[in-house]
């Protein structure tokens, strides 16, 4: 039996707008492992769908742009740490599922340079995959748009994806770039990276 209780209380003992539920007698991870998604929308049954208040809606997607420059792995870790405890939604580096979303990222976040996105071939060299389980129908393709000319180049160690003003690139995972986090129903898939 899943029991939700409020962690803190707001005005007059009612849950406040930023309160996350806690689980009586269980940790969030073990509860996540034991509950199901009966609707098939990626959300865990019985949990509220909450994104952090620092995430903003852009064309139906919730993003957080971070101007802290860091390496790819730290960017992904920082995005994962944003997740609201007890929420049915997940946070991670942005998964860009189609050309429309490429445009949203370019027009809103690449004005100050390259940004890390949740794309890498760290697990299988030459096969770029996203950091979540989101179904993107094979996007991006192996070559061509949204990749910039001659990308992905596949040079040694170029295993992390970033988006610039002209499209996707693969590069070393160690440059310090700004990054874009996303909040949605797709859980993190560590085996992908």
Measured between alpha carbons, how far is residue 71 from residues 20, 153, 176 in Å? 30, 19, 5
For the chain, give every domain's residue range: 1-37, 48-192
β pairing state of 21-23 and 4-6: antiparallel
Q: What is the DSSP letter of 53?
A: T
Helices (H), the chain: 28-34, 72-80, 99-109
C-alpha–C-alpha distance, residues 24 and 45, integer Å: 16
Q: Which two tokens stand for residue 100?
A: 């429309």
pTM of this structure: 0.78
Q: Look-up: residue for tokens 């690449």?
A: 110
Phi first, then psi: what are they for 188, rounded to 5°?
Answer: -60, 145
pLDDT values of the chain reduced to their tens digit, one per residue, 193 residues: 333 333 333 333 333 444 444 333 333 443 344 445 554 555 556 689 999 999 999 999 999 999 999 999 999 999 999 999 999 999 999 999 999 999 999 999 999 999 999 999 999 999 999 999 999 999 999 999 999 999 999 888 999 999 999 999 999 999 999 999 999 999 999 999 9
Superfamily the domain 48-192 falls into: Mannose-Binding Protein A, subunit A (3.10.100.10)
C-alpha–C-alpha distance, residues 158 and 75, integer Å: 16
């Amino acid at each position: 039996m899943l029991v939700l209780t409020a962690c803190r209380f707001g005005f007059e003992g009612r849950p406040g707008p930023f309160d996350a539920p806690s689980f009586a007698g269980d940790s969030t991870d073990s509860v996540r492992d034991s509950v199901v998604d009966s609707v098939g929308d990626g959300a865990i049954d019985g949990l509220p769908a909450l994104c952090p208040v620092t995430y903003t809606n852009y064309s139906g997607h919730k993003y957080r742009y971070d101007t802290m420059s860091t390496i790819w792995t730290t960017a992904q870790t920082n995005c994962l740490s944003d997740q609201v405890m007890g929420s049915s939604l997940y946070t991670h580096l942005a998964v860009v599922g189609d050309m429309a979303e490429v445009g949203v990222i370019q027009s809103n976040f690449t004005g100050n340079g390259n940004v890390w996105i949740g794309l890498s071939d760290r697990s299988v060299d030459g096969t770029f995959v996203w950091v979540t389980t989101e179904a993107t129908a094979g996007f991006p393709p192996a070559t061509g748009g949204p990749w910039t000319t001659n990308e992905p180049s596949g040079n040694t160690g170029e295993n992390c994806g970033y988006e610039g003003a002209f499209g996707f690139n693969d590069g070393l995972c160690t440059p310090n770039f700004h990054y874009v986090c996303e909040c949605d129903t797709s859980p993190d898939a560590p085996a992908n990276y």
